Amino acid sequence: MQSTLAHSTTTVVQPSGHINSGNAETLKQHLTETVSSKDSSSLLVDMSRVESLDSHGLMALVSTLTLAQRMNKQFGLFGISPSVRIVFELTQLDRVFEIFDRHPSELEAAAA
């Protein structure tokens, strides 16, 4: 996995605020365009600025994950606050998504 990250083009998207029915479709469109780009082989979502996440926001992320898997691209999340992480745990989506505490490159640097 480390070599894949080292040799891949990773795009990071950083949504902020409340992800809900009012803006989840916009986020989904942005994530879909990004993961579909030929310039990127993996997409990471920096969740550190997300204050809350409802079911519409979750569905935007699940939809993007499904698309990434179909396209054989990596899709992961990092920087999830405890209050947002509980949403993933309650829905058991923490078992579906690849979730990192920090950006994976920071984790690699700390391990070196």
Q: Do residues 87 and 55 make contact, with C-beta atoms less than 8 angstroms apart?
A: no
- What pLDDT is stored for residue 106 in this prediction? 61
> What is the per-residue pLDDT for 108?
52
| Residue 104: predicted pLDDT | 72
Is the per-residue pLDDT at 49 higher than 60?
Answer: yes
Residue 37 near residue 64 (C-beta atoms within 8 A): no
Q: How confident is the model at residue 103 (pLDDT cuts 50, 70, 90)?
A: confident
Ranges of beta strands (E only) in 2-108 are: 10-13, 16-19, 42-46, 49-53, 74-78, 98-100
For the packed helices 24-36 and 55-70, what is the interaxial angle rounded to 10 degrees?
10
Each domain of the chain, given as residue ranges in start order, spans: 11-99
Q: What is the pLDDT of residues 64-92, one digit of tens each?
A: 999 999 999 999 999 999 999 999 999 99
What is the CATH T-level fold of the domain 11-99, as seen in this structure? Transcription Regulator spoIIAA (3.30.750)
Name the DSSP letter for residue 95. G
